[in-house]
Structure 1
Amino acid sequence: MKKALIIDGNNLIFKAYYATAKHGASLHSLQGVPTNALYAFIRMINKFITSNNYDALFVAFDAGKNTFRTQRYDKYKATRKSAPQELLLQIDLVKQYLDLAEIPWSQETNYEADDLIGTISKNKVAKDYEINIISSDKDLFQLLDDNIKILQPQKGLSDLKVMDKNQLKVEYHLEPKQIPDLKGLMGDNSDNLPGIKGIGPKTAIKLLQKYQTLENVIANVDKLTSKESSLIKENSAIGLLTKELATIKLDTPLKKELNDCHYDIKLLDKPELQNFYKKYDMKSLIVSQKKIIEFKDSTIKVLESWDAKFNAKLNYVWTEICWDNYHRDPLLAIAIKNEFGTFYCRKNMIANSKELQTFLVDKKYQKITWDIKKTIVSIKKNFNINADGFIFDHMLASYLLYANENINLENIANILQVKNNEDLDDGEFYGRASKKHIPESETLIAQYLELKLNFLVETYPILIEKLKTNDNWELYEKIELPTVYSLITMEINGIAVDTKQLKTMTENTKITLDKLEKELNQIAQKTLNPNSPKQISQYLFEELKLANPKKGSTAYEVLITLKSAHPIIPVLLEYRKVQKLYATYLNGLEKYIFPDHKIHTIYNQVQASTGRISSTEPNMQNITIRDDEQREVRRIFIASAENLKIVSCDYSQIELRILADISGDTNLINAFLKNHDIHAETASKIFNVSLDQVTKEQRTRAKAVNFGIIYGISSFGLSQQLKISIKESQEFIDKYFVVFPKIKEYINDTIKYCQKNGYVESLFNRRRAVPEINNNNKIIREFGQRIAMNMPIQGTAADIIKLAMIKIDTAIKEKKIKANLIAQIHDELIFEIDSNDLNTEMTKINEIMSHVVKLKVPLIINGVSGNNWYDLK
């Protein structure tokens, strides 16, 4: 059956205008022409066109206020307010658009759009079409039929409510032909049709269910209640007139039929139409309509079942999850492209297809995708199968080549200048933030996924060539790709949470917060919202007249300088610390706990340009040990069974050890070879005292400069950290470089190399571009220098922890180590190990981690066990 789309033009324009006009002001072109309704109308047309493959398209308009209805009843629609002039101006613009797009439309003198819709949808030709009518006008319900539905735009135009004969029966308990009778009884305020005053919707429906028509109700008036009888007798004439006026004409002079309304989607690409968009500053429509045209050329097939004949040796696979947490959010579909075609597989089909599941888990069918980890975990979560055979990850390859960039499909497609790269924008396709939604049209989603598959096909050889040219292939193959599977292990294992302990800590912290807020208000002698920077700023700087160093800022660094200025400041600082603990680490943690009482954090392999792994939902790496209160949060992370212990294996001072190796500094190397306290050793040499004479203060200063040097600390930065003068801190740095001359040489050589080549590398050829290094701005240039000297160290540390993780995970899977790998935090790996096997298994882990690479200095592992994460430090 052919498909037709009929649009109530006036209704949609009005909806478009009021959905987008804000506070009396709307979108205008640069010439001042209002365009908000025009723009929204065109966007809606685009949405309708792409949601179905319509064979016919027609838009109906009112010809004016004067119609046969106003001739019969001069008060018809008389109470309606005049439309805003901004809206009226845009009706003509919409008609200009329709003409340029060659979308058929009509208006007929003396008739309304409803009548034209009735005429074209109810003639003999229309019976061959499945018809969708776009309108929020309920009068059109009388047109509903086996082949006719009404799609009602809802608030904001983002959703459509479908009304068909069955739904009408559910909501109104009436047949479509009874809608005019319903209006005749109850009236219609929007059209100023009185009906029979005193008869409401419930009574009207009850009467029509019994007597079918208004005429039959009038004929049986003596059988009604005295009140109903009286009302109908007095008002039957106006009731019949209301019914007549509410009845849609099916015999207007409209000459068009649906067979005359064929529409070619490719007309959207007409130069005249694009000029129209440019004229009214709606250039984004040029991009979106190009997308529609591209989609219409799609060859992807929406499959009802998978056939083994589609199994190919090499396959491009895209797993689509509209939202961000693939552990929690449902999989939408999987799209596959290979030599046999391009296929869209919806979730329920995959769940019921043994053939497709066999294809996904069989590693002989090689698969290429974007984000292997997301793909494997989401398939595991949704179908409980272990997908295998993935040989290439475009996301990881892109990260190694463009570490400083945002690693998302749209950005990488733009960098590589992929065909249709502007279309690969999930934010544009699904919406952003609270407006994010899944399009109704499965066909449209399938066509969008085909673009993503085309990206994979087009860029696969490009990325491989670039990896090899940049000498990154071994890093990709030996470190980044295997790391994926270790991260999958950790994410699926998860970390167990003591929910009772969490609840207790949350409640106690809330009590503390309430006490601190009460104390704040007592000191202020007024009610203050401590979470409102504006209120706090007004109180501190306008009422108390405290020193205002940063124009009203109440940031921590400001408040700490004012700590002794007023009794309220220490309380406010404490409140904020406890509030962060409550909101972020306690109350904020509950939403991340799964039904298995575990947190399954998402590890991000492509976020930090140094190669470090980060995590989200929640960010486990933010749970610090430096703050006593935040450290307490670690108590809630426990082993998942009573016989298990939590074990931490942490690289000791790994960055300083890497610095010793890379710089080749003899003094630093010897200190590590002798297994001395490196900070005491540094203090001993700088202050020229024996190791046993090094004071606590001297060691603290040496520790600050040891770690500060790695991050390119300045004399000013060191002075702030140690609370000493800039001159004194510079002298301290100078002495440091005298003691460790090769470190200074390393820094200078690395900066020169970076200035010449534009990048630096880790020991494993992890490359980071540093464009800031040659910037004319001194501040930016010095920032680039700090990146250059630090990245080879941090990058190498990242590579080492990944190598250790890979080897240990492999040993666990091969049953050589009895442990569960459950987390990675900075330079620390966390395990669950049976308490009976602790010493044996920790020794094995230590052996792997300490020998995963060979440096000029030994890698030392700090291993510790406990009942919870807190016990490990």
Structure 2
Amino acid sequence: MNRLLVVDGTALTFRAFFAIRGLSDRQGRPSGALHGYLASLLRALDDYEPDFIAVAWDLPKPTFRHKLLSSYKANREELDEDLIAQFPWVREVTELLGLPSFDQEGFEADDLLASLAVQGEEAGLEVLLLTSDKDLAQVVTEKVLQCPPPKGNEPGLEMGPKEIKAKHGVPPNQMCDWQAMVGDSSDNIAGLPGVGPKKATLLLEKYGNLDAILTRGPKEEKGKLAENLVTYAEQVRKALDLVTLRTDLKVGKPTELTPFARDEAALQDFLQDHDLTSISRRLEKKQPNILDIEPVQTNLFENSKEAHAEAHQEAGDYKLVDSPEALATLRDSLNSSEGFAFDTETTSVDPMQANLVGMSFSWKEGEAFYLPLNLEEKLTGPNNEDPVDFIKPALEDPLIPKTGQNIKYDLQVMARHGVAMQGIKFDTMIAHFLVHPDEQHNLDALSLRYLNLHKVPTSSLLGRGKDSITMDQVPIDRVREYAGEDADATWRLAPPLREELAEHELEDLMNDLEIPLLPVLARMEQEGVAVDPDRLKSLSETLNARIEDLAAIIYELAGEEFNLNSPKQVGPILFETLKVQDEAGLSPPGKTKTGGWRTNAPTLEKYAGVPAVDALLEHRSVSKLLSGFVKALPQFVHPETGRIHTSFNQAIAATGRLSSSDPNLQNIPIRSAEGRRIREAFIPREIGWSLVSADYSQVELRLLAHFSKDPALCTAFAEGADIHARTAALVAGIPEKDVTSEERARAKAVNFGILYGMGSQRLARELGISISEAKTFIEHWFAALPMVRKWLDTTLEQAEEKGETRTLLGRRRSVPGLGSSDGRVAAFSKNMAVNSPIQGSAADLIKIAMLRVDRRIHQESLRARMIIQVHDELVFDCPDSELSALESLVREEMEGAYSLEVPLVVDIGKGSDWAQAH
């Protein structure tokens, strides 16, 4: 019997957070819930090997239960800020994994789980519910099993009717009645006073159901119970309505819930960005078993041509260009066309190492042409011309509009084959990103959403894992179908996406910023940046030596050697042998659910100043630098160029900021001395050249001043004051010269933290002060800068009214949930509403600057090259003879990128390596 696994995504995230508290990534972002969620999810996929899967989520809006009971869930405590921050990442990675997700306005995830369970069983499936919530016990049958996520290495548990009765005292068909009488304090549902779990079980054993209890009970029972059965009958009936799950929600056909094709590159970028290396390795190691759920046979014609056509809906006329005459016809059609969709087929996802296998073109719905370069008999033009050279004029003609999906990749591939493509006018991936920045943007997902087209999955051609092949090894006719479908789908996607861009007033952002940026980024990626292997080797030796020294210090303090990477061994040494808590004058930390001492970084940082703790924290930090950067960077050096060619991604960060991958240069730390030394390994391409770094100064705070128009902030920036000292002085009501370093640090923390929704809880934790002190400081900060408070309030009001926020250039981000009765959702949405205009506007500014600087460099025929963009910084490779000209040019173009209420200021440095330049 085929299996459907239904996951309670919201509950699994909660469970993961409380199981792995305090974990954070290299950027300091909380990551415990994200990591734990993925670990539990992947284990479930591995343990249960489902044929179908669905993940259900709560929405940040009231449900029908709130209408039945206005105080429903009203007594729940405010959620931890670190948990709130991780929910969107959990949803994002679920989509990146290609897992079907469900949420429905007016209902809870539990209702969706129940509906999927009942409808899945009706479809002849065995249903496994991955949740420990007792509410789901009511739908358990012999074919619907509840599977609580196991703890640690404990074996998984599949609970059927017998197990449910053993645990709760009643079978599944009595669970609703039982819950109605017992009530649920966590949901603020009042049951029958005086009746607990045991009494409810006895009553159901005696009467059979709640209706009989309420009808016969007042006559047959005695004393207070008989009285309560009359007094609270309506309360209990309302409780029954509240605890009963809906099973009739529309969830589609359970037998179609298979993972859709996912963007492997985007998934790996996400995992790398969030330091989820163990999850990434686990995915690689477990393939093809995990997340390789294939559609199962549901009819006798599954393997027939009819079934194939139904599954993929391939109705296109996709022609193979396999003769000189056909090639000539293609060229003439391209040259006379009013535009076409273009795609390449290659041997690698890395454009710098990909060999061109073929090209596909489409300019009419349902039609496409595939030009292969690997025919047995080499294809040439009518006069023996090379096929690429033969169609090159059309590809380089700026007056013929080209459309692509992630066309930056194709730009680079063609550039390596001698074609400088021009006329790039539309990219379906970027268009969808601008309209729906929080969704998936790969071609498979877009085709399914807009065209109802199930594309031929790449894995069906190339396979997976060690046995996979490259596109040049696939039979050409199969590639024709696949490549033709890609070009056809891209061409068909452009019109509806253009309509959405117009509907949301995003055409200018697309046409004037994002599309012109494509060739700029492509050139930057092609240029790459040189690294000095000798410096990396030297740094590796230094870090290894430091790790050994730190280990020796720790062992000497402990009086014994032990595994520094084992929490089970580290905890007892620190808190039982050395008693570091006594030395720090603090109480010992809490313990994990398995009984071990907590030894994660946030916990140990509370005991900073104790030699053993300081040494251990440094040991961890240095070890991470060594493995995560120093040893990893050489693997990205291109064998031909000797440089690192990172990828700059326009359609990943929902704020609009660029991200980088392979490697992620944004993750290179610069705060520690060892981290800065990593930047020393990035060097100019040759002798007589230097690296130049141009970094916007405090751009986010300048944008805050621009949007809020707060006089104090604007004046401080106009006067070139130390913004943190000035703010501290305003808050304390003292002269700026009297501000202490401690007061400045507090002001700095709030200045930046206010943009990320920092509350008193987090400020207290960062500064080591009480929550009441932190609360008072934040109140004084807003009192000193009243226009900031006004802007925040106005921004939130507009976001709630319109359901979105906008940046300087109109970049949008949807902000659901501001009016949610769920505190955690409302708090997260509030943070997003405030942060997105600032972050997104910073993204707008740096992208404008990149276009302006790139244009000037070419206008003035400089040999200098823009090679890196990280956060608010641009890095250039520049001949020493052009340094003065470049600095003047860059300052002028970056500071003049946009006219704000306050001046834009750029800090520029130069040097023989990136660290020296910055």
TM-score range (shorter-chain normalised) is: 0.5 to 0.7
1:726 offset after TM fit, Å?
A: 1.2
**SS in structure 1 of the partner of residue 868 of structure 2:** strand
**Match status 1:719 vs 2:719:** no
**SS in structure 2 of the partner of residue 649 of structure 1:** strand
**Cα deviation 1:378-415 (Å, max 9, x = unaligned):** 2223x132122221111110110110112212222333
Of stretches 431-440 and 586-595 in structure 1, the one that deviates more from structure 2 is 431-440
Match for residue 516 of structure 2 among 475, 482, 489: 482
Check the 8 A contact 1:705/1:733 in 2, yes or no.
Answer: yes
Of stretches 405-414 and 526-535 in structure 1, the one that deviates more from structure 2 is 526-535
* Counterpart for residue 628 of structure 2: 584
* Counterpart for residue 707 of structure 2: 662
The residue type paired with residue 358 of structure 1 is P
**Cα deviation 1:467-510 (Å, max 9, x = unaligned):** 11100000111111111122122111211111221222223323
Shift in alpha-carbon separation, 1:673–1:435, aligned structure 2, 3 A: farther
* Counterpart for residue 300 of structure 1: 319
Check the 8 A contact 2:539/2:677 in 1, yes or no.
Answer: no
**SS in structure 1 of the partner of residue 680 of structure 2:** helix
Give the distance between the partners of 2:287 and 2:751, measured in 1 at CA: 60
Match for residue 591 of structure 2 among 526, 549, 554: 549
Shift in alpha-carbon separation, 1:725–1:559, aligned structure 2, 3 A: closer
Give the distance between the partners of 2:898 and 2:608, measured in 1 at CA: 49
Give the distance between the partners of 1:538 and 1:568, measured in 2 at CA: 13
* Counterpart for residue 391 of structure 2: 356
- For structure 2, the 5+ residue unaligned runs are 1-46, 53-285, 289-294, 381-385, 580-587
Of stretches 570-579 and 844-853 in structure 1, the one that deviates more from structure 2 is 570-579
Shift in alpha-carbon separation, 1:311–1:423, aligned structure 2, 3 A: closer
The residue type paired with residue 334 of structure 2 is N
Shift in alpha-carbon separation, 1:538–1:807, aligned structure 2, 3 A: same
* Counterpart for residue 644 of structure 2: 599
The within-5 A match list for 1:804-823 is 804-815=849-860, 819-823=864-868
The residue type paired with residue 414 of structure 2 is I
Match for residue 345 of structure 2 among 299, 320, 343: 320
**Cα deviation 1:652-685 (Å, max 9, x = unaligned):** 1111111111112122111111221111111111
1:356 offset after TM fit, Å?
A: 2.7
* Counterpart for residue 730 of structure 2: 685
Larger RCO of the pair (alpha carbons < 8 Å, separation 6+):
2
Match for residue 427 of structure 2 among 393, 397, 414: 393
* Counterpart for residue 504 of structure 1: 538
The residue type paired with residue 754 of structure 1 is A
1:570 offset after TM fit, Å?
A: 4.1
Give the distance between the partners of 2:893 and 2:835, measured in 1 at CA: 26
Give the distance between the partners of 1:497 and 1:866, measured in 2 at CA: 14
Check the 8 A contact 1:520/1:528 in 2, yes or no.
Answer: no
Give the distance between the partners of 2:617 and 2:305, measured in 1 at CA: 53
The residue type paired with residue 419 of structure 1 is N
Shift in alpha-carbon separation, 1:414–1:529, aligned structure 2, 3 A: farther
**Match status 1:775 vs 2:820:** yes
1:554 offset after TM fit, Å?
A: 4.1
* Counterpart for residue 871 of structure 2: 826
Shift in alpha-carbon separation, 1:694–1:513, aligned structure 2, 3 A: closer
* Counterpart for residue 60 of structure 1: none
Match for residue 375 of structure 1 among 410, 419, 438: 410
Give the distance between the partners of 2:305 and 2:817, measured in 1 at CA: 36
Shift in alpha-carbon separation, 1:746–1:590, aligned structure 2, 3 A: same
Check the 8 A contact 2:343/2:407 in 1, yes or no.
Answer: no
Shift in alpha-carbon separation, 1:293–1:717, aligned structure 2, 3 A: closer
TM-score (norm 1): 0.64
* Counterpart for residue 423 of structure 1: 455
Match for residue 848 of structure 1 among 862, 887, 893: 893
Give the distance between the partners of 2:642 and 2:514, measured in 1 at CA: 30
1:767 offset after TM fit, Å?
A: 0.0
Check the 8 A contact 1:472/1:765 in 2, yes or no.
Answer: yes
Match for residue 792 of structure 1 among 824, 831, 837: 837
1:778 offset after TM fit, Å?
A: 0.3
**SS in structure 2 of the partner of residue 299 of structure 1:** strand
The residue type paired with residue 411 of structure 1 is A
**SS in structure 1 of the partner of residue 340 of structure 2:** strand
**Cα deviation 1:278-332 (Å, max 9, x = unaligned):** xxxxx99999844677458653315355323342422111123464322224344
**Cα deviation 1:187-228 (Å, max 9, x = unaligned):** xxxxxxxxxxxxxxxxxxxxxxxxxxxxxxxxxxxxxxxxxx
1:590 offset after TM fit, Å?
A: 0.6
Output the aligned Cα RMSD: 3.4
* Counterpart for residue 914 of structure 2: 869
**SS in structure 1 of the partner of residue 817 of structure 2:** helix
* Counterpart for residue 368 of structure 2: 342
- For structure 1, the 5+ residue unaligned runs are 1-24, 31-155, 159-268, 278-282
Match for residue 676 of structure 2 among 613, 631, 652: 631
**Cα deviation 1:828-855 (Å, max 9, x = unaligned):** 1111223233233211211111111111
Match for residue 736 of structure 1 among 775, 781, 802: 781
Shift in alpha-carbon separation, 1:286–1:755, aligned structure 2, 3 A: farther
**SS in structure 2 of the partner of residue 772 of structure 1:** coil
Shift in alpha-carbon separation, 1:573–1:697, aligned structure 2, 3 A: closer
The residue type paired with residue 583 of structure 1 is S
**Cα deviation 1:518-554 (Å, max 9, x = unaligned):** 6666777877554556775798799999855334454
Check the 8 A contact 1:303/1:343 in 2, yes or no.
Answer: no
* Counterpart for residue 309 of structure 1: 332
Of stretches 389-398 and 349-358 in structure 1, the one that deviates more from structure 2 is 349-358
Match for residue 656 of structure 2 among 602, 611, 615: 611
The residue type paired with residue 423 of structure 1 is K
* Counterpart for residue 264 of structure 1: none
Check the 8 A contact 1:409/1:424 in 2, yes or no.
Answer: no
Give the distance between the partners of 2:445 and 2:665, measured in 1 at CA: 27
**SS in structure 2 of the partner of residue 300 of structure 1:** strand
Bigger radius of gyration, 1 or 2? 1
Match for residue 449 of structure 1 among 456, 478, 483: 483
State how many pairs are aligned.
Answer: 603
Check the 8 A contact 1:665/1:740 in 2, yes or no.
Answer: yes
* Counterpart for residue 330 of structure 1: 355
* Counterpart for residue 674 of structure 1: 719
The residue type paired with residue 772 of structure 1 is G
* Counterpart for residue 505 of structure 2: 471
The residue type paired with residue 374 of structure 1 is Y
**SS in structure 2 of the partner of residue 773 of structure 1:** coil
Shift in alpha-carbon separation, 1:759–1:499, aligned structure 2, 3 A: same
The residue type paired with residue 409 of structure 2 is K
The residue type paired with residue 405 of structure 1 is E
1:640 offset after TM fit, Å?
A: 1.2
Give the distance between the partners of 1:362 and 1:857, measured in 2 at CA: 42
Check the 8 A contact 2:554/2:612 in 1, yes or no.
Answer: yes
1:274 offset after TM fit, Å?
A: 3.7
* Counterpart for residue 439 of structure 2: 405
1:709 offset after TM fit, Å?
A: 1.3
The within-5 A match list for 1:46-195 is none
Match for residue 763 of structure 1 among 808, 822, 838: 808
Give the distance between the partners of 1:273 and 1:504, measured in 2 at CA: 58
* Counterpart for residue 243 of structure 1: none
The residue type paired with residue 549 of structure 1 is K
* Counterpart for residue 185 of structure 2: none
Check the 8 A contact 1:319/1:331 in 2, yes or no.
Answer: yes
1:721 offset after TM fit, Å?
A: 1.4
* Counterpart for residue 621 of structure 1: 666
Check the 8 A contact 1:413/1:424 in 2, yes or no.
Answer: no
Give the distance between the partners of 1:534 and 1:371, measured in 2 at CA: 47
1:869 offset after TM fit, Å?
A: 0.7
